[in-house]
Structure 1
Amino acid sequence: MKTLPFIYNQPKEFLASLQPKEWADFILGEINPLFSLTATKARVIGIRNESLDSKTLVLKTNRNWKGFQAGQHVPVTIEIAGRRVTRFYSLSSAPGDKNPTITVKKQNGGLVSHFINERVQVGDILELGAAQGDFVLSKEIPNKILMIAGGSGITPIHSILQDLSKRDYKGQVKLLYFSRFREDIIFYDSFAKLEAENPWLEIKHVLTDVKAEGFDFGFLTNEMLHSFVPDLTDRLVYLCGPAPLQGPAKFMLGDVKIISELFLLPNQVNFSTSSKGPKEVVLLQSHRTILLKGEKSILDELEDNGIYAPSGCKMGICHTCVCKKVSGSVTNLMNQTVSGEGEENIQICVSRAEARLELDL
């Protein structure tokens, strides 16, 4: 005879079945949405416009928040149209600030970035994961630093500069920041204030799309780099932004030590060698078999079919989407390498199906 589900041999088995922490979280959440025994939650207590298409959210976190290092990013989970979606965003405030901030720029096709900029309001609750990332200050901060950023890649650098200012840094930092046009510059007023208050900081804004009085114009060149930083080889370089900036920058910097973080947007992933024909994909945990066209990443094609696997950044950075490929071949869209047919872990946000796949999903 089948054992009834509420009969247990040991008291601890019965207690475990009740999932007391989940029940407690539910009850606490009804009292106050910020209350939780396990989850890190944050209420939006302020919203600032930083540019035409980016906003800063000022957050009040619950006691589960463990803080962060300047330059790190954090998983942000939000409910959109009835489903929970997670993306990674860099903290833009200094670690010691009472209320941490994240700054989000709208991205083409970015579900969460558009939702945050257009729909999130003061009072809304977000769920945060643990801060992570190695784009941080070293224990021994060098005397001379060069920072190069493009677009939303400025966010972790803004956090680092805020941190240096609070530490009463005595060295020298130069920042080269590329934006499309004047109104596209994120943190323009904040940077002006930082530069005025800290004699160790020098900032050069460069516009790439529209010329404007008082701003440099164009893309990064050797001449621009060495004119702004004659002592380049004496500096540690922090580089953050999209691939079209990072590739040339790394080539020009040569042997100079670089700490970098790549912001690879979905429209920058290389689909130049497309897959031929649909591929059968077996989802072992879900007991489902579907056909993927091989025209997008596995993650995107699963979502097109109404299947939402765990994911975060969709850029190949956070590894939230890693799953086991039991069999079959995929192409890594970051470097166009083709995998073997055997078992291995893959990032489905930057992998494309090349042959029949079995995935542990």
Structure 2
Amino acid sequence: MVALLGLVQTLTTPHPVDRYLELVRPMLTVRDMRARIVGVDRSVPGTISLSLRPTRQWDGLRAGQFLQLGVVIDGVRHLRCYSPVNSQHDRRRRLDLTLRVHPHGLVSRYLHEHARPGMIVDLEPASGVFHLPDRRPERVLLISGGSGITPVLSMLRTLVDEGYSGEVVFLHYARSPELVPHHAELAEIAAAHPNIAVELRYPEQDGRGFDHDELVRVAPWFADAQTYLCGPPPLMESVREVYTGADLSERLHTEEFVASTVAVDSAEVDGTTTFSASGVTAENTGTSLLEQAEGAGLRPEFGCRMGICFSCTSVRRSGCTRNLRTGELEADPDQPIQLCVQAAVGDVDIEI
């Protein structure tokens, strides 16, 4: 079979065989993974929930992982990272995604405006290290804010499906009750399972933000638990401070959907970036190489834009770059780097 596929691929060069198959039936693929949208829900303001039926290549996920979803907009394929809310034991061969619609989010706005049952999207396999361990902890604390609810909801659904008997607290922060996705389901889970507590907070209304005292109130056993956190930077920082102060950092597991970067002094920015495969040059600006390439009119592929998915990886042929997350300098030639979290330091040659 492998030899036959290789022969077919040779005969269809220069395009992959899946490019021809999609003209006949978009969901008929040899290697590429795709999904058909089978359900769309826009009932929660500022979000859209999608139910997808993936092709046969989909082999599941671990609770908390993300996947890359691709859509074609004006002839250009755009990839973005989203965390399914499914239990990892879901046997329906369905993927459920809840996406926050960002004001400047190209893909999320496009899907909010155009997604409909029958639409075909591209998929990449689930990945990421933010997931429940194979050996479940005796106690689990799930903390989220805003759209960070999705990976921890996947964890909660998984634990429910497993009949998990340990203590669980699900602590979620939102601006108002109407903005909590799957609100009714969370209430049903808490009512049906005495070992699971769902705590919803609305700081702008009730003034109850996150601090050590709040943590002790909702989960007095937190020091003996494993904690999984995903949310906006202020919440992430508040939780980290509490856990660092209690010397419990090793029990805190995090997933970020906004990149934390090291500030770059404009006085230190000089030199020229050469995108050698395109013959394009640009004066360095101190921004990420991905932003710099886009500003120069190039369209490198990307997904998460924060150093998680590796979609924007390209080769640094020469020169020095700074890691925007750590501030470290890297100068080894002919090395693959992630454009979204690297900035040029002096003259740099990137193979784009």
Normalising by structure 2, what TM-score? Answer: 0.89
- Please, which moves more after superposition, 346-355 or 228-237? 346-355
What's 1:359 paired with? 350
- Please, which moves more after superposition, 318-327 or 164-173? 318-327
Cα deviation, 1:46-96, whole Å, max 9, x if unaligned, reads: 012363111111011111212111111111111011100111110111222
What's 2:301 paired with? 310
Question: Which one of the candidate residues 16, 23, 40 is aligned to 2:33?
Answer: 40
What's 2:224 paired with? 234
What's 2:71 paired with? 78
Question: Which one of the candidate residues 133, 139, 142 is aligned to 2:128?
Answer: 133
Shift of 1:106: 1.7
> In the alignment, does 2:193 pair up with 1:189?
no
> In the alignment, does 2:248 pair up with 1:253?
no
Which amino acid letter does the alignment assign opposite residue 281 of structure 2?
A: I
Question: Which one of the candidate residues 149, 158, 170 is aligned to 1:154?
Answer: 149
Shift of 1:14: 8.4
> In the alignment, does 2:325 pair up with 1:330?
no
User: Larger Cα Rg: Structure 1 or Structure 2?
Assistant: 1
What's 1:6 paired with? none
Change (3 A) 1:274 1:123: farther
Q: 8 Å contact 2:272–2:284 — kept in the other structure?
A: no
**Structure 2: tracts of 5 or more residues without a match:** none
Query: How far apart in 2 are the matches of 1:173 and 1:223?
Result: 18
Shift of 1:111: 1.3
Change (3 A) 1:106 1:15: closer
Q: What is the DSSP-based 3-state SS (H/G/I as helix, E as strand, rest coil) of the residue aligned with 2:156?
A: helix
Q: 8 Å contact 1:315–1:349 — kept in the other structure?
A: yes
Q: What is the DSSP-based 3-state SS (H/G/I as helix, E as strand, rest coil) of the residue aligned with 1:107?
A: coil
Q: 8 Å contact 1:104–1:116 — kept in the other structure?
A: no
Q: 8 Å contact 1:137–1:160 — kept in the other structure?
A: yes
**Structure 1: tracts of 5 or more residues without a match:** 1-11
Which amino acid letter does the alignment assign opposite residue 355 of structure 1?
A: G
What's 1:8 paired with? none
Which amino acid letter does the alignment assign opposite residue 193 of structure 1?
A: E
Q: 8 Å contact 1:330–1:351 — kept in the other structure?
A: yes
Query: How far apart in 2 are the matches of 1:15 and 1:345?
Result: 31
> In the alignment, does 2:202 pair up with 1:207?
yes
> In the alignment, does 2:211 pair up with 1:217?
no
Which amino acid letter does the alignment assign opposite residue 200 of structure 1?
A: N
Normalising by structure 1, what TM-score? Answer: 0.87
Which amino acid letter does the alignment assign opposite residue 121 of structure 1?
A: R
Change (3 A) 1:121 1:271: farther
Question: Which one of the candidate residues 263, 269, 272 is aligned to 1:280?
Answer: 272
Question: Which one of the candidate residues 85, 89, 99 is aligned to 1:92?
Answer: 85
Query: How far apart in 1 are the matches of 2:338 and 2:59?
Result: 27
Question: Which one of the candidate residues 156, 165, 168 is aligned to 2:163?
Answer: 168
Change (3 A) 1:196 1:14: closer
Query: How far apart in 2 are the matches of 1:13 and 1:115?
Result: 36
Query: How far apart in 2 are the matches of 1:275 and 1:36?
Result: 51
Shift of 1:248: 2.2
Shift of 1:220: 1.1
Among the aligned pairs, what percent are the same residue?
27
Q: What is the DSSP-based 3-state SS (H/G/I as helix, E as strand, rest coil) of the residue aligned with 1:204?
A: strand
Aligned residues: 342
Query: How far apart in 2 are the matches of 1:275 and 1:58?
Result: 49
Query: How far apart in 2 are the matches of 1:332 and 1:226?
Result: 37
What's 1:104 paired with? 99
Which amino acid letter does the alignment assign opposite residue 182 of structure 2?
A: F
